[in-house]
Chain A
Amino acid sequence: MSAVIENHHDDHDHGPAKGITRWLYTTNHKDIGTLYLWFSFAMFLIGGAMAMIIRAELFQPGMQIVEPEFYNQMITLHGLIMIFGGVMPAFVGLANWLVPMMIGAPDMALPRMNNLSFWILPFAFFILLSSLFMEGGAPNFGWTFYAPLSTTYAPPSVTFFIFSVHIMGASSIMGAINVVVTIMNMRAPGVTLMKMPLFVWSWLITAYLLIAVMPVLAGAVTMMLMDIHFGTSFFNAAGGGDPVLFQHIFWFFGHPEVYIMILPAFGIVSHIIETFSRKQLFGYSSMVWAMLSIAILSFVVWAHHMFTVGLPLAAEIFFMWATMLIAVPTGVKVFNWVATMFRGSLTFETPMLFAVAFVVLFTIGGLSGLMLAIVPADFQYHDTYFVVAHFHYVLVPGAIFSIMAAVYYWIPKWSGNMYDERLGKLHFWLSFIGVNVTFFPQHFIGLAGMPRRYPDYALIFADWNMVSSIGAFLFGFSQLLFLFIVIKTVMGGKKATDQVWEGAKGLEWTVASPAPYHTFSTPPKVD
C-alpha cells in the first residue's frame, strides 16, 4: 500500500489540555490509547506480583508462605487480572493508538464512549482488588469460577466480583463497538477491506468476537447473582439446577475469549515480521481467511475444556475433531510468517526478536493444544500442569510478547524517541530465558501427574517446581527493566525519523514522530 500525504499545518489545530483534566476528559484516541496501555502495565505488574507469591509458595513442597485459602485467592486474582486487566486492555490501547492511524481516520468513531469505556475500568479493578480486604477474603474459585464453588460455597466477596466482571464486560463491549464502527465507517478513501493492514483486520474480527461473547459472560455472572441472592437454582443441583450448564455457558464465552487474546497478536506479529524481513508479507489474503475461520471455529469447540465432565461419546468426538480443525488455519499463519522471512533481508531489532520468539513459542503452545484436543490423552492431561504450560505458552510468549513487540515497534512513533536498543535486547533475552525456564518444565511436571491449582505437591515434583520458580522470578524481575526502558524512552532519547524502520510500510509511518495530537484530519489519499 502506498500513500500520499498532504502535510498541512492547520492553525486551528489544537493540542492537548493541560494537567489532569487532559486525561480525565480526553476524547483523543492517542491519549486514551496511552491510558489503556499504562493501565494494563500496572495490572500486569500487580498480577505479576501475585504470580511471584504463587511461585514462591511452590518453590518447595510443604506450606511455607501462604495458607491454601489465600493461595486460591492468588491464583484466582492472578488469572482474572492478567486476562481482563493485562492482556485485553493492552490490546484495546494498541487499537486506540493504531487503528485510526492505520486506516487514515482522524479519531475513533465514538470518542466520548471511548473515554467512558476506559474510565470505568479502574473502578472494576478497584472493586476486584478491594475484595482482598473483605471478610472471607477475595474470590477463591479460580478464574473459571465454576459453580457451585463460586455460588453456594463462595465467600461473600463474590457479589463484588460479579459487579466487577459486569463493568469489565461493559467496557469491553463499548470498546469493541467503537472499533467496529470506526473500521466500517472511517477508512480513508482507497483503504478497501482487503487492503486493510492485518492489525486492523485482526481487531475487526476480535471486536465481533467480543460483542458476541461478553454478553454471554454477563449472563453467566447474572445467573450466579440470582442463585446467590434471589433463590434461583440455575447451577444448584439440590434445587433442580445444573452445575454443568455453568461450564457450557462459561466456555462458550471462554474459548472465543482465548482467541480475543491472540488474534490482535497475530496482526502485530505480521506487521513486525514484514518490516524486519524487508519483504512483502506472504499470503495476505490467506492470513485474513485464516483469522476468519479461526474466529468462526472458536464458537464450536468450547467443550474441549470439559472433556471430563461426562459428555456423551458423540459430543466428545465432535469437539475433538472440531478443535483439531482449528490447527489448520493456525498452521497456515505460522507457515506464512516463516515464508515471509524466507529469502527476506532480515535484521533483528528488539521488536523482531520478540516477534520471532512469538512464532516459535506460540507454535509450541499450539502443538501442545493439539495434544490436549486428543480426548483419551486429555483424560490424563486435563487440569494438570500440562494445561498450565499450554496456556501460558500461548499467553505469555504469545499474547504478552506480541504486546511487548508492539511497544518496542511503535514507541518511537508514539514518543518521538528511539528506545535503547541494548537494553531492549537485554530485556528480550532475560524474558525469553525466564519464560522458558518457567513454563517448559511445567509440561513435564504435568505429564508426571501434578494437578493444577495445588498449593502443595508430592516430593517427586519438587526439583522441577524449583526450576520453574527460579525462571518465574527471573521473568518477573526482568519486567521492571521493561518499565525502566519505557520510561527512559518517553523521557528522551535519540530522535526517531518519521518512517522509524527501514522496511516499515503503512499510513502510521507517514506522519511525524511523535505523531501529532491530531492526525489525518483530512483523509490521506491511498491507491
Chain B
Amino acid sequence: MLFNLLSFLKRNTFLIALLLLVSPFMQADWFALNMTRGSTDISNEVFELHMLIFWICVAIGVIVFSVMFYSMWAHTKKKNPVPARFHENHKLEIAWTIIPFLILIAMAVPASKTLVKIYDDEAGDINIQVTGYQWKWQYRYLEDDVSFFSNLSTDLDEIYNLVPKGENYLQEVDEMVVIPAGKKVRFLITANDVIHSWWLPAFAIKQDAIPGFVNTAWTIVDEPGIYRGKCTELCGKNHGFMPIVVKVVEQAEYDEWVFAKKQEAIKLAELTTKEWTAAELVERGESIYEVNCVACHQTSGQGISGIFPALAGSDIVMNNKDRNIEILMEGVQGAAMNSFSYLSEVELAAVITYTRQSWGNAEKGDGEIVIPKDIVDYKEPKI
C-alpha cells in the first residue's frame, strides 16, 4: 500500500509539483474571465458576436489540434517506422482553402451588421462633449450648459500601499457623468493634449479621443446604476489613473441633477466679484493645485527634472504676475503645459495665488496675489 503510494508519487512527481504550484490559484477569481454582457442592446449583440467567434475558434483549434495530437501519438518512429510518401492532395488542399473562407464569411456578415448599427449617426436626445486631458476627463452637456471635470478619487495612500485598498480602487471619480435612463445619449469625444480613449465596457463604447478630431458614440441604457470604464490609449504618466464613471438615473432625478449643477455655476459666478483675502485664495488654490497641477509639478512644486519645470523658486511665479497669468491662460507652445483657461476665474486666481504663496515663493519674490478680477481683465479683449 505504502509502496504503491510511493511509486505513484515517484512516477508523477512532475504532475504533483505542477499541482502544488498552481493550487494557490485554484481560488483565483474565476468570474473575472470573460467579457461582460453589458447593459445595452448593442453591448449584448457584441457579446453574442464575441461568444460566436470564440466558439468557432475553439472548434477550429480542437479539430486541428486533435489531428495533430493523434498523429504525434500514432505516427511516432516506433509505431510507424516507415513514413508515408504522400506530399500533396489537391482535393484536400482546395477544401481547406474554401471551407475556412466560408467560415470567415459566416463570421464577418453578422459582424458587419452590428457595425452598421453602431455607426448610426442620428443626433441624440442628450449630447455630451467628452474631452480627454492629461489625466482627467471633462464633460460638457451641450444642451444644458453644464460642464465639469472628473478626476480619479482614489487616495494616493491606497496606491502606494499605505492603507488598504477600497472596493472601487482606481475605478472611482470625484464627479460622475450623470445620464438619464432610456434616452439616447450621444458622446462627442475629443482631447485637449494627447490621444486618450474613452472606454465604457458595459455600453460597448470605445472611441479614441484625439486632439483636433471629434468622434462620436451613442448609447441607450435602460437600467439605472453605476457603470465604470477606463482610458485605453497610452496618454503619459497617469494613463492608468483616469477612470470613467457613468451614473444612469431616472429622468426626474436627472432633471434635478441638472438644476443643481446650474445653481452651482451661478454661485461660482458670484464668487468672482467677492473680495478675496490671500489666505482664502491659498486655501482654495491648494485643492485645485492638487487636482490639476500635482501630476507634473509635484506636491513639492519641484517638478520633474528635465520634463516638468519647478514652480518653487521659479522667477515667473515669484516676480512676474502678468506672464504667470498668461501661461495659465495660453499654455506653453511645444511643451506639455497646456492652457488651463477652462478653469473658472476664481479657480485660476486661487491656484496662481497658491503657487505664488507656497514653498517660500512669497518670501523670495514680490508676494503679490492674483484675484479673480485680474483674470477677468486678462480676458477682456485687448485693443
Interface residues of A (CB under 8 A from B): 61-64, 68-69, 72, 134-137, 140-142, 146, 148-149, 152-153, 155-156, 237-238, 241-244, 277-284, 286, 308-310, 313, 316-317, 320-321, 324-325, 327-328, 331-332, 334-335, 338-348, 356, 359-360, 363-364, 367-368, 370-371, 374-377, 379-380, 382-384, 433, 444-445, 447-449, 451-464, 466-467
Contact = CB atoms under 8 A, between A and B. Distances in A.
Given A451-B231, A464-B29, A334 B237 contact: no
6 tightest Cβ-Cβ pairs between the two chains A and B: A237-B212, A135-B306, A136-B306, A463-B28, A310-B215, A454-B240
Given A63-B159, A137-B306, A279-B87, 7 more contacts: A69-B237, A148-B211, A149-B236, A242-B212, A338-B64, A346-B76, A367-B60
Interface in B132-160: 134, 158-160
A308 B197 contact: yes
A251 B349 CA distance: 45
Contacts of B236: 72, 140, 149, 153
Interface string B218-261: 00000000000011111111111100000000000000000000
A280 B87 contact: yes
Contacts of A459: 165, 167, 169
B53 A370 contact: yes
Interface stretch (B106-114, B272-280, B362-370): B106-114
B194 interface: yes
Contact of A376 (B28, B36, B167, B204): B204
Find the residue from B82, B216, B240, B241 having the highest chain A CB count within 10 A: B240
B234 A343 contact: no
A313 B116 contact: yes
A464 to B, nearest CB: 6
A455 B241 CA distance: 9
Given A327-B100, A341-B75, A343-B83, A68 B211 contact: no
A458 B170 contact: yes
Contacts of B354: none
Contacts of A347: 76-77
Interface of B: 18, 25, 27-29, 31-36, 45-46, 49-50, 53-54, 57, 60-61, 64-65, 67-68, 71-72, 75-77, 80-89, 92-93, 96-97, 100-101, 104, 107-108, 111-112, 114-116, 118-119, 134, 158-161, 165, 167-171, 193-195, 197, 199, 201, 204-208, 210-213, 215-216, 230-241, 304-307, 334-336
A63 B160 contact: yes
Given A331-B100, A345-B77, A371 B230 contact: no
24 contacts: A64-B161, A68-B239, A69-B237, A135-B307, A152-B334, A277-B75, A278-B83, A279-B83, A308-B207, A335-B96, A343-B83, A345-B75, A363-B65, A367-B61, A370-B57, A370-B104, A371-B53, A374-B53, A376-B114, A379-B206, A380-B46, A448-B36, A456-B241, A463-B28
A339 B92 contact: yes
A374 B234 contact: no
A384 B197 CA distance: 12
A277 B159 contact: no
Contacts of A243: 195, 210-213
B75 to A, nearest CB: 5
B210 to A, nearest CB: 5
Contacts of B33: 444, 447-448
Contacts of B107: 324, 370, 374
Given A277-B83, A447-B33, A61 B165 contact: yes
A507 to B, nearest CB: 20
Given A137-B306, A382-B232, A344 B75 contact: yes
A335 to B, nearest CB: 5
Contacts of B307: 135-137, 155-156
Given A69-B304, A346-B77, A456 B54 contact: no
A467 B233 CA distance: 25
Contacts of A448: 32-36
B144 to A, nearest CB: 25
Contacts of A359: 68
Contacts of A72: 234, 236-237, 239
Given A68-B240, A456-B170, A456-B240, A338 B83 contact: no
A53 to B, nearest CB: 16
Contacts of A343: 71, 75, 80, 83-84, 86
B210 A383 contact: no
A460 B64 contact: no
Contacts of A467: 25, 28
A282 B93 CA distance: 10
Contacts of A339: 89, 92
A463 B161 CA distance: 17
Contact of A149 (B72, B83, B234, B306): B234
A83 to B, nearest CB: 17
Given A68-B238, A367-B57, A454-B240, A320 B85 contact: no
B80 A344 contact: yes
Contacts of B240: 68, 451, 453-457
A457 B165 CA distance: 11
A316 B137 CA distance: 27
B83 A345 contact: yes
Contact of A280 (B60, B85, B239, B241): B85
A449 B216 CA distance: 22
Contact of A371 (B54, B211, B305, B306): B54
B207 A363 contact: no
A333 to B, nearest CB: 11
A433 B207 CA distance: 36
A433 B252 CA distance: 56
A325 B105 CA distance: 9
Nearest to B21: A470
Contact of A328 (B77, B83, B104): B104
Contacts of A310: 207-208, 210, 213, 215-216
A315 to B, nearest CB: 11
Given A308-B206, A328-B100, A338-B67, A317 B112 contact: yes
Find the residue from A308, A344, A371, A433 having the highest chain B CB count within 10 A: A308
A346 B194 contact: no
B232 A451 contact: yes
A525 B87 CA distance: 25
Contact of B233 (A146, A281, A348): A146
B87 A344 contact: no
Contacts of A374: 49-50, 53, 107-108, 111
Contact of A146 (B68, B234, B336): B234
Nearest to B198: A308
Contacts of B87: 279-284, 340
A384 to B, nearest CB: 7
Contact of A279 (B27, B84, B104, B114): B84
Find the residue from B28, B65, B87 having the highest chain A CB count within 10 A: B87
A461 B57 contact: no
Contacts of B80: 343-346
Contact of A360 (B32, B68, B211): B68
A453 B239 contact: yes
Contacts of A64: 161
Nearest to B238: A68
A324 B211 contact: no
A384 B305 CA distance: 32
A366 to B, nearest CB: 9
Given A61-B165, A313-B119, A344-B83, A331 B96 contact: yes
A447 to B, nearest CB: 5
Contacts of A464: 28-29, 32
Contacts of B35: 380, 447-449
B108 A321 contact: yes
B29 A456 contact: no
Contacts of B195: 146, 148-149, 243
A325 B108 CA distance: 10
A62 B231 contact: no
